[in-house]
Amino acid sequence: MELKKTPLNQIHKDLGARLVPFAGWEMPVQYTGVIDEHTTVRTKAGLFDVSHMGEIFVAGEKALDAVQMLTTNDASKMADGQVQYTLLCYPDGGVVDDVTLYKFNEQRFLFCVNASNAQKDFDWIKANAGGIANVKDASEAYAQFAIQGPFSQNVLQKVCSIDLSSINYYHFKVGLIDKTGAIISRTGYTGEDGFEIYISPEYAVNIWNKILDHGGSYGIKPIGLGARDTLRLEMGYPLYGNELSKDTTPIEAGLEKFVALQKNDFIGKKVLESQVKTGIKKKLIGFEMIEPGIARSHNKINNHGRQIGEVTSGTMSPSIGMPIGMGYVETQFAAMGTEIGIEIRNRVAKARIVKKRFYSSKPVCKK
Amino acid sequence: MDFPKELRYSKEHEWARAESNIVTVGITDYAQDSLGDVVYVELPAEGSTVTKDETFGVVESVKAVSDLYSPVTGKVIEVNDALIDSPEVINDDPYGDAWMIKVEVANLAEIKELLTADEYKQFVEEEK
């Protein structure tokens, strides 16, 4: 199957990026190097092409009802112009996808979904909400960039019509970027302050270049998926396909604060409710290595020689300078400080369970 | 991309430098560039034996794990332990400070079976 290309494909090549297949797209994994790009986002500003992400609108008089039935979090609490992290679940509690939900008004919502799940999500939303709301796949209509890092606002303000300081964390506004309409949200997947912008693909190259030009004095650089992964992992953010899947529930993944059991029925509620009441068999944990070695996904996790789970993500943390990871273990072994063994290439390296939030950055702007 | 003339190369992207019966081994400029930032390396113990075309260690970047294959057979007489604490040297100086092991070889003819710089360069170009 031919890989899909974002409007920036040629620009990435010109910038010297290494392009790899990802979720059916040809995407830049790195430009200058993962560690340099990671540090740039933590200390300055980075620009990510995330045009592979999917956008699905749910609209109509019963749009809120549709969203409430599809998602685990409580969308009735959202103000217009607010963004919410939420999950779509199957009836058995397994995760269809984790998404960000944008509320324009009671009758118009936007789901930003993972590229790897875009078609599946659209089919799922259409099948379950198509009867009461208009469901439209708008993925082709948007290019998406993320501008992340402490100087994000300074850089983006130079090309943006609205006062960015007026956009609070997990809120959005519609405004002009370089004279073209854009959705601008104060969101991201790095743990740094920053924005995600949705623009028309035909203006994408122009806006990308302008942001890099204007951000030059702030040290902005283009950032690939490699650093996107290390940045999110340091924050303990789950990645669908690693920490989340149809075989894991939001409760097992430690995402109970995004599951609103007090709201009316939603798909998966029964199972999630019972898991909260009676407990879970496996739990997502974070760990740091005690002995040398880097854990990788699918490495087995042991306790005194018995397998108790499996690694879902692992890397050398560029910010902390030590190997970190996440994985599922049997709940009885999930306590903070528990020593576990990670099977790495025919040997077992000791690790210790720690908080999933490995890296603590400066707090984001919450005005 | 650098392909020093005086070295011999394997198709697994290791280089070998022979001085009498002692062969120094490392990974090539192409290999380090393909890997990206190297953050971890595992090397054999001094006194252990390595075998041509078999793994003798592991090198890892942020994203990827890659086995190291020995270009020769023999006894490891010296290991560059400095790489354990400073694996980034593998990116900075693959043919110099980032040598990995020195092997005392029994059969010097093995070296001749390896690729010359020109042959390796051509091999890499075809692999791209």
pLDDT at A367: 35
What residues make up the domain containing B64? Answer: 8-107
- CATH number of the domain that residue B18 is part of: 2.40.50.100
Q: ipTM of this complex > 0.95?
A: no
| % of chain B exceeding 90 in pLDDT | 92
Supply the CATH number for residue A170's domain.
3.30.1360.120
Q: What percent of chain A has pLDDT over 70?
A: 98
pLDDT of residue A230: 98
Contact B39 A316 (CB under 8 A): yes
Closest by Cβ to A33, choosing from B36, B40, B58: B36
Q: To probe the interface with A, which of B37, B56, B81, B84 has the most A CB atoms within 10 Å? A: B37
- For chain A, what is the domain count? 3
- For residue B128, being part of any structural domain is answered with no
**B58-70 per-position pLDDT tens digit:** 999 998 899 999 9
Inter-chain touch B58–A318, beta carbons under 8 Å: no
B118 domain residue, yes or no: no
In terms of domains, do A203 and A155 share one? Answer: yes
Residue A160 sits in the same domain as residue A216: yes
Q: Is residue A255 part of a domain?
A: no
Residue B22 at interface with chain A, using a CB cutoff of 8 Å: no
Interface mutation vs chain A, best among B56, B63, B91, most A CBs within 10 Å: B63
Q: Do B60 and A318 lie within an 8 Å CB cutoff? A: no
Nearest to A68 by CA among A311, A282, A260: A260
Q: How confident is the model at residue A366 (pLDDT cuts 50, 70, 90)?
A: very low
Mean pLDDT throughout A336-342? 97
Domain count, chain B: 1
Q: Which amino acid is at A46?
A: G
pLDDT tens for each residue of A200-214: 999 999 999 999 999
**CB–CB contact B58 A292 (8 Å):** no
A335 part of a folded domain: yes
**pLDDT tens digits along A74-121:** 999 999 999 999 999 999 999 999 999 999 999 999 999 999 999 999
Question: Residue A358 belongs to what domain range?
Answer: 281-367
Given A139, A162, A184, which residue is the final one in a domain? A139
A159, A126: one domain: no
Q: What is the pTM of this model?
A: 0.94
* Contact (CB, 8 A) for A104 and A12: no
Residue A340 lies in a domain: yes
3-state secondary structure chain A: CCCEECCCHHHHHHCCCEEEEECCEEEEEECCCHHHHHHHHHHCCEEEECCCCEEEEEECCCHHHHHHHHECCCHHHCCCCEEEEEEEECCCCCEEEEEEEEEEECCEEEEEECHHHHHHHHHHHHHHHCCCCEEEECHHHCEEEEEECCCHHHHHHCCECCCHHHCCCCEEEEEEECCEEEEEECCCCCCCCEEEEEECHHHHHHHHHHHHHHHHHHCCEEECHHHHHHHHHHCCCCCECCCECCCCCCCCCCCHHHCCCCCCCCCCHHHHHHHHHHCCCEEEEEEEECCCCCCCCCCEEEECCEEEEEEEEEEECCCCCCEEEEEEEEHHHCCCCCEEEEEECCEEEEEEEECCCCCCCCCCCCC
- Tell whether A219 and A338 lie within a shared domain: no
Residue A225 lies in a domain: yes
Query: B116 lies in a domain?
Result: no
